[in-house]
Structure 1
Amino acid sequence: MELTLTRTEKTKDYTMGRLEIDGEHFCDTLEPTWRDLGPGRPGHKIAGRTAIPDGRYPVAVTWSPKFKKWLPLLLHVPQFEGIRIHAGNTPDDTEGCILVGLRVKPGKVLDSRLWEHRLVRRLASRPLGEGVWISVG
């Protein structure tokens, strides 16, 4: 299963995007500010206020002790740990994670618990042994 997160708006306060599953639009996303963290690049990570670098990452659905439920976890993200896809509405609800929902205005998504539930259910319904990857950019 292939998730694709296309960042559509990068501002000094937030990053908006759209999430696709196997090429079909699924929902909108919200992340903290995107900073170019690539090798030799001018950006620098600000803890809890920086979106993950562009790239392709494996995804596992694991138990989150913080949220006390099963959530997608991105693996092997350079300079980051514990990056999940979860519910939230504003940049204050994320410390680097990807929030899912419906964009209603710049810097905000709604119905995020519904979209989080739909995403986890969709990932759980994939064939046994099928890997999950997310391409972010």
Structure 2
Amino acid sequence: MKITLKRIAYRPTYTIGKLYIDGKYFCDTLEDTKREVKIMHETCIPAGSYQVTVNMSNRFKRLMPLLLNVPGFEGIRIHNGSTAAHTSGCILVGKNSIVGQLTESKATFENLFKLLQSTKDKITIEIS
């Protein structure tokens, strides 16, 4: 399964993107802002290609997608949330129907999680 995240709007406190699964639009994303110098829990991860696995999150106490080998970052997950304050460097999924926020994030995440759980293929995410 190939997930593609195309970042489309960089703002002072957040980044908005579009998430595609195997080339088909799936949802919008919200991340921290892009910075030249990383500020922990306030910076989006570098563009690139990463393997994704599903494992137990100590923070969320449930199975969740985890991006592997992100340079300079650890514990980067895809999860639900509505504002940049909820990201902590991770990728939030939902609908960008309010400026700088996501709606329907929990339902969007659950739909994405079902797709990730159902695939037997290797999962990668390409971020640009």
More displaced stretch, 98-107 vs 79-88 = 98-107
What is the aligned partner in structure 2 of residue 34 from structure 1? 34
SS at structure 2 position matched to 1:78: coil
What is the aligned partner in structure 2 of residue 55 from structure 1? 48
Q: Write out per-residue CA displacement over residues 69-119 of structure 1, whole angstroms, 9 at most, x where no aligned residue.
A: 111000000000000000000001111000000011221001111111111
CA distance in 2, matches of 1:21, 1:53: 20
Moved over 3 A (4+): none
* 1:89 corresponds to 2:82: yes
* Structure 1 unmatched ranges of 5 or more: 36-42
Q: TM-score, normalised by structure 1?
A: 0.91
1:34 is displaced (CA, Å) by: 1.1
* 1:132 corresponds to 2:128: no
> Any residues of structure 2 matched to 1:69-88 within 5 Å, and which?
69-88=62-81
CA distance in 1, matches of 2:31, 2:105: 13
What is the aligned partner in structure 2 of residue 118 from structure 1? 111
Q: How many residues align?
A: 128
Letter in 1 for 2:127: V
Q: Write out per-residue CA displacement over residues 1-59 of structure 1, whole angstroms, 9 at most, x where no aligned residue.
A: 00000001001110000100000000000000012xxxxxxx10001100000000000
CA distance in 1, matches of 2:34, 2:10: 6
SS at structure 2 position matched to 1:119: helix
* 1:25 corresponds to 2:32: no
* Structure 2 unmatched ranges of 5 or more: none
Contact 1:15 1:32 in 2 (8 A): yes
SS at structure 2 position matched to 1:28: strand
Q: TM-score, normalised by structure 2?
A: 0.98
